[in-house]
Structure 1
Amino acid sequence: MRVVIAVGGNAMTAADGSARPADQQAAIETAVEPVAELISAGHQVVLTHGNGPQVGNLLVKNELAAAVVPPVPLDWCGAQTQATVGLLMLNALDRALAARGSKVRTATVVSRTEVAADDPGFAAPSKPIGRYLSQAEAAVMAGHGQHWQDRGERGWRRVVASPEPVRCLDAPAVLALLAAGFAVVCSGGGGIPVVADGSPSGYRGVEAVIDKDLTAALLAGTLAADRLVIATDVEHAVLGWGTEHARPLTGIGVGELEALIARGEFTSGSMEPKVLAACRFARRSGKPAAITSLGAIAAALAGTAGTIVHPDRLDPV
């Protein structure tokens, strides 16, 4: 099968959230092991990933150096972290594949995701990113054109737009690499956000954050993938999370899951974008999507683990 796997950014840090270079490298070494198993079993794999901790590190550097050098814009941060995480993933995958006797080659595509210039998110930025600063520190960053909000006792925090992904611009390169036998890492962090600049085939980067799971669903559809797997730190999506009535979701129809989303059953910014992405892929492609832990990916593809979103049960119950 052709499988798109979306790995969360927190899977690339230590268990306590530490994002030192050694922490990231060790976490990625672990994260790619089940991916290497799938590749060795003959599946075509496209791997995408979060980049929140990595971009967070760059934002701190921006803030500390803002009085000396201009801050690096978010599209540059996305490109840098895609390349860095891609390098670590390729090295780790190459080692894991070699240990299994596989000769499959790997490649990273630094990838752009088109968003609409008139997306409502740009008019009212609301996605918080980075750390809290004092009013004086935030004022320095605001002087560079950034949007900061007073968040009360904790301080000020930067907010940006989180527009809908419209098109994975570099999917043709991914398809060419797949046809040549490569396993591919691409569209990290939801892709580098760009808008059409009005010139023929021209684009420019924008200050925004795109949800990586929604981009993964779009990418999987564009690549005609057989499955989308959203890998997180739990084996299932859960109804009633944190309550005595909590129960895991196993097999569920896309219509039923969409109704649960509409009722607000999932946490915004956490599980909600994952289930929404799974629904989008299942409804648009007519193929199943899965939400599960990294270690259960193979079982999820077999339909025996995780939350499996089926396209053939379309009506809410």
Structure 2
Amino acid sequence: MSKIMIALGGNALGNSPKEQLELLKEAAKPIVDLIEQGHDVVIAHGNGPQVGMINMALELASKENPSIPSVPMTECIAMSQGYIGYHLQNAIREELLNRQINKNVVSLVTQVIVDKNDPAFENPTKPIGIFYSEKEAKQMQENGIPMVEDSGRGYRQVIASPTPLKIVEADSVRALMNQGYVVVTVGGGGIPVMEEGDAITGVKAVIDKDSASEKIADELDMDYLFILTAVEKVAINFGKPNQQELDVITVDEANAWIEEGQFPPGSMLPKVQSAIRFVQSKKGRKAVISSLEKAKDAIIGKTGTTIVTNNQQ
């Protein structure tokens, strides 16, 4: 059987805790299908909308009441790891029990080391939080908050997204997986930290969860990387009359479309780049990008976009 890394997109998890609970109950079914088949599964999840809302709510509370302290972004990421992981592990646990499968599920608060000199800190590109109108975005930009238009869906705040160098808890994830646990890890891309001697300190940033998923998938020697997002397939000319959805693409084709600027930074671009890195990291590896709703079909090759090396086509 195979070892499979599944990365769930934060935008596919709903806009409220209640909606998230319902969506994750459905997401748990194709995940448990894989577990039932005997595959080892490790799960990551996004947190773009959720961490943005947590951060904004705490900032507004702090401004409204000076006795309430401002909370750094790293702590907001940790909070999002906790509550999304809580919902996800319980949804998977319930589905496992419904099928009389005796497996434990655990969410691990995960830190990811980044380089303090990463150029991403000078060029924020990662959208977080809710969507705003153009008028609202302009007002926020006037207040010093960087904003970007996100794939025709509205405007969102952007933050630095440095490259993940090392997963601090990778050995712990490996040990749990070897003991038969289903592990939820690198939630929201992990908490970005820097090493300073023996100490680890947080840094204001959001690591792309697909990049972190690829990194830990490589460290754990996984066979497949499934990136599940809000769309069924990767497309070129997205949102235009000549939009074309892609089924199976090679690394060379993907790189050519990246050069053309076909994939927006902060949304589809890091997904495609992570898929490329994964399939090139070891012979025989495959990556699939598809939607949460179509996960079951994507897992068995009926839909989604599969990225392969040039000699796998």
Same fold (TM over 0.5): yes
- Aligned-pair CA distance for 1:109: 0.8
Q: In structure 2, which of residues 54, 58, 64 is the aligned counterpart of residue 62 of structure 1?
A: 58
Distance (whole Å) between structure 2 residues aligned to residue 174 and residue 161 of structure 1: 26
- Counterpart in the other structure of 1:206: 203
Count of aligned pairs between the two proteins: 298
- Aligned-pair CA distance for 1:129: 4.0
Q: Secondary structure at the match of 2:206?
A: coil
Aligned letter for 2:7? A
Distance (whole Å) between structure 2 residues aligned to residue 190 and residue 256 of structure 1: 26
Aligned letter for 2:265? S
- Counterpart in the other structure of 2:311: 313
Aligned letter for 1:8? G
Alignment of 1:198-277 (within 5 A): 199-200=197-198, 202-277=199-274
Q: Secondary structure at the match of 1:275?
A: helix
Q: Secondary structure at the match of 2:306?
A: strand
- Counterpart in the other structure of 2:301: 303
Aligned letter for 1:175? R
TM-score, with structure 2 as normaliser: 0.86
1:137/1:246 CA distance change after superposition, 3 Å: closer
- Aligned-pair CA distance for 1:222: 0.9
1:127/1:275 CA distance change after superposition, 3 Å: closer
- Aligned-pair CA distance for 1:219: 1.3
Q: Secondary structure at the match of 2:265?
A: coil
Contact 2:140 2:147 (8 Å CA) reproduced: no
Q: Secondary structure at the match of 1:66?
A: helix
User: CA-to-partner distance for each residue in 1:119-177, whole Å, 9 max, x for gaps?
Assistant: 112234454544678999999xx9xxxx63589xxxx9865321111111111111001
Q: 2:174 aligned with 1:178, yes or no?
A: no
1:137/1:249 CA distance change after superposition, 3 Å: closer
Contact 2:140 2:146 (8 Å CA) reproduced: no
Distance (whole Å) between structure 1 residues aligned to residue 303 and residue 139 of structure 2: 50
Distance (whole Å) between structure 1 residues aligned to residue 53 and residue 3 of structure 2: 33
Alignment of 1:17-28 (within 5 A): 18-19=15-16, 21-28=17-24
- Aligned-pair CA distance for 1:246: 2.2
Contact 1:112 1:193 (8 Å CA) reproduced: yes
Distance (whole Å) between structure 1 residues aligned to residue 223 and residue 138 of structure 2: 49
Distance (whole Å) between structure 1 residues aligned to residue 288 and residue 126 of structure 2: 26
1:64/1:185 CA distance change after superposition, 3 Å: same
Contact 1:138 1:157 (8 Å CA) reproduced: no
Q: Secondary structure at the match of 1:118?
A: coil
Distance (whole Å) between structure 1 residues aligned to residue 305 and residue 110 of structure 2: 28
Q: What is the aligned-residue identity percentage?
A: 37
Distance (whole Å) between structure 1 residues aligned to residue 137 and residue 250 of structure 2: 47
Contact 1:228 1:290 (8 Å CA) reproduced: yes
Alignment of 1:1-317 (within 5 A): 1-13=2-14, 18-19=15-16, 21-67=17-63, 68=66, 69-125=68-124, 127=126, 129-130=128-129, 148-149=145-146, 159-197=158-196, 199-200=197-198, 202-286=199-283, 287-313=285-311
Distance (whole Å) between structure 2 residues aligned to residue 137 and residue 239 of structure 1: 31
Aligned letter for 1:79? A
1:129/1:241 CA distance change after superposition, 3 Å: closer
Distance (whole Å) between structure 2 residues aligned to residue 62 and residue 23 of structure 1: 21
Q: Unpaired runs of 5+ in structure 2?
A: 149-154
- Aligned-pair CA distance for 1:60: 2.4
- Counterpart in the other structure of 2:152: none
Distance (whole Å) between structure 1 residues aligned to residue 107 and residue 170 of structure 2: 12
Distance (whole Å) between structure 2 residues aligned to residue 148 and residue 303 of structure 1: 42
Distance (whole Å) between structure 2 residues aligned to residue 161 and residue 6 of structure 1: 20
User: Which is further off, 252-261 or 81-90?
Assistant: 252-261
Q: Unpaired runs of 5+ in structure 1?
A: none
Q: Secondary structure at the match of 2:288?
A: strand
